[in-house]
Structure 1
Amino acid sequence: MSRVVLVTGVANRFASLVARRLAEIGEAGGIARVVGIDTVVPSGDLGGTKFVRADIRTPVVGKVMAVEDVDTVVHLDVNPPRNRAGGGGAKELNVIGTMQLLAACQRASRIEKFVLGSSAAVYGTSPRDPAMWSESMSARGGVRHGFPKDIVEVESYVRGFARRRPEVMITTLRQAQVLEPGIGSPLSDYFSSPLLPAVMGFDPRLAFLHLDDALAVIGESVTEDRPGTFNVAGDGVVLLSQAARRLGRPVIALPPVGFATASRRVMSAVGTEISPDLHRLLTYGRVLDVSALKDIFGFEPTFTSAETFDQYRMRVRPGILAGLGGRS
């Protein structure tokens, strides 16, 4: 059976690339057509994707699904705010938008598959964190605000939908941050700054996801049956100190107390911004166990976290010769 796939949030560069990849897979992978929705016209090329201007926070999304005979939904319109001013709007889109989208899916009898592009932020960040997060674990320090709280709520709503519609196959992908020039993410924005604020006395362990692996795992979630919740990241870790050294960027060590405020001032002084939820990650870090992705989902990431960072580094700083495969 050929699927009609709806991709949300295609004005976002990453979601637009996902939609284009799915359209390229086409009938060879059982995809009849792809429909992309957003409130803003995408600036990038969607390839063979049909774009429909619609807001997932309104009942219009249900009408789009009915008119287009959608049976598969790829929900990627869940994103962290890029700055403090955007926090309220991001939460409304993330949480209210997901609620409305799921309500539309609940009414749509044709829906057979739902793929959620979630985030590793669901695990939170605290000094009580394990060395590596598996899918069965939950945030030890709790999540009380910001994007991590949004993600916890979003996943909760998706689980509720799964109970109401058990016949719908649901795949939840808890992705590490994609590190790729041109793909907006809090860490990508942070590493683009000429100065890198860091927490004095901490050297967090970070994991990254390569764009090619991110596109591939979502594509396989659509074309194959892969129900469940899966961490998605490259193997291994990169220390913040390693990343800064490879980029050739000076680190500004700041005290842990008041780091969020001080780091915002440092970034503002050099004309950049820091995501409001990033300061905890820059303190305690986060690493993902991807055993389930390999053993149950059946996907082996092509790029390690170090290789992903090295490719990013070479693209943003082509003059630097040393890679992460060398001295650490």
Structure 2
Amino acid sequence: MPRNVLVTGVSRRVGGVACRALAEDPSVDKIIAIDAVPPLHGIGRARFVRADIRNPIIGKIVNQEQIDTVVHLGVIMTPRQAGGRNQQKEINVIGTMQLLAACQKAESLRRIVVKSSSAIYGSSPQDPAMFTEDMSARRTPTGGFGRDSVEVETYVRGLARRRPDIQLVMLRMANLVGAGVRTTFSEYFEQPVLPAPLGFDGRFQVLHLVDAVAAIKKAALTDATGTINVAADGMLTVRQAARLARKPVLPVLAQSGGLIQQLSDLLGARGFDAEQMAFLQFGRGMDTSRMREVLGFEPTMTTREAFTDVFGAGELIPALGGARG
């Protein structure tokens, strides 16, 4: 059972709530909360240490505090959170590389939990109905958060080969939704009008923040290992979700993602990311058998319930341009 836990990314919503949940568990003797900026929310009895995981000082912290469990939540899901795409990639990829280098040298370390993403599977017309953890993307993400997730997992697998004594868990989570959660997915559905590719209606799963935090805590405090898909039951399509959110859909050409992003930025909406277009076309589904069988976890909300809790707006309205919902 973990006794000394280090959590990264605590200034952001997921990291902060997960840190607080772990701090409430009496089996955790000490919890160290790490981020480059102080959190604006409570983190319970956790002790905050201001540190950038890109800095080698992270290794000193792990050793001095005799950390046996690292929960890595310090990945940024949107370029706007980081101050630009280059900064996002540097924090996500270089930061993870530095953290794992510190973990490799730490004799006290016994377990690492890494929050990954379903984005690693990409989106394409050749995709299976449901991705299992041993499947790879039919079309590997070439940019954005999806590409960062691919690189992060590559580094984690490298550490697994070098330190087979460390238990590793990678949680490939579906799109997160919840109060204060900022992702390209949430920014898309917060737009007043939703551009959607003409002739397509991608299906997707989500995971509520409450369930995401519960899964992270369970992964940190149990003996489950390996890569695990984590998502709520059921699926929605883009147009079904738009109707639940009472947002009109604007049909656009699938090839116009870059132009729509430019227009969105010029208008100050900043809610559309061109990297999303393939996802809006083809969607993505994950098999969650390992979530139940290995992690022993069951989400409390379905995809529809989680989405409606965050974006639901009551009475449904039709889409623009005659598109069917």
Structure-2 change in CA distance of 1:296 and 1:220 (3 Å): same
Q: Tell me what 2:52 maps to.
A: 55
**Cα offset, 1:312, TM superposition:** 1.3
> Are the counterparts in 1 of residues 77 and 182 from structure 2 also a CA contact under 8 Å?
no
Q: Deviations over 1:249-268 (max 9, x none)?
A: 11111111222322441465
* 1:77 equivalenced with 2:79 (yes/no): no
> Are the counterparts in 2 of residues 3 and 33 from structure 1 also a CA contact under 8 Å?
yes
SS of the counterpart of 1:303? coil
Residue 204 (structure 1) aligned to one of 202, 205, 211: 202
Distance 1:111 1:203 in 2: 45
> Are the counterparts in 1 of residues 176 and 206 from structure 2 also a CA contact under 8 Å?
yes
SS of the counterpart of 1:258? helix
> Are the counterparts in 2 of residues 195 and 267 from structure 1 also a CA contact under 8 Å?
no
* 1:132 equivalenced with 2:117 (yes/no): no
Distance 1:96 1:263 in 2: 27
> Are the counterparts in 1 of residues 261 and 274 from structure 2 also a CA contact under 8 Å?
no
Q: Tell me what 1:325 maps to.
A: none
**Cα offset, 1:85, TM superposition:** 6.1
- 1:22-61 pair list within 5 angstroms: 22-25=22-25, 27=26, 30-61=27-58
Q: Deviations over 1:52-96 (max 9, x none)?
A: 000111111011112222110001112233349611111111111
Structure 1 unmatched ranges of 5 or more? 323-327
> Are the counterparts in 2 of residues 194 and 270 from structure 1 also a CA contact under 8 Å?
no
Distance 1:164 1:3 in 2: 24
TM-score, length of structure 2 as denominator length: 0.92
**Cα offset, 1:275, TM superposition:** 3.3
Structure-2 change in CA distance of 1:38 and 1:276 (3 Å): farther
Structure 2 unmatched ranges of 5 or more? 317-324
Distance 1:129 1:260 in 2: 23
- 1:173-184 pair list within 5 angstroms: 173-184=171-182
Give % identity.
43
**Cα offset, 1:145, TM superposition:** 2.3
Q: Tell me what 2:7 maps to.
A: 7
SS of the counterpart of 1:194? coil
Q: Tell me what 2:296 maps to.
A: 298
> Are the counterparts in 2 of residues 82 and 274 from structure 1 also a CA contact under 8 Å?
no
Q: Tell me what 1:249 maps to.
A: 247
Q: Deviations over 1:142-189 (max 9, x none)?
A: 232222121111111111101111110101100011111311111111
Distance 1:194 1:289 in 2: 32
Aligned-residue Cα RMSD (Å) equals: 1.7
SS of the counterpart of 2:52? coil
TM-score, length of structure 1 as denominator length: 0.92
Distance 2:315 2:249 in 1: 20
Q: Which moved more, 1:251-260 or 1:114-123?
A: 251-260
Distance 2:145 2:209 in 1: 21
Structure-2 change in CA distance of 1:59 and 1:287 (3 Å): same
**Cα offset, 1:32, TM superposition:** 0.7
* 1:230 equivalenced with 2:224 (yes/no): no
Residue 309 (structure 2) aligned to one of 308, 311, 318: 311
Distance 1:155 1:279 in 2: 23
**Cα offset, 1:270, TM superposition:** 5.8
Q: Tell me what 1:68 maps to.
A: 65
Q: Tell me what 1:214 maps to.
A: 212
Distance 1:98 1:136 in 2: 22
Amino acid of the residue matched to residue 8 of structure 1? T
Amino acid of the residue matched to residue 309 of structure 2? Q
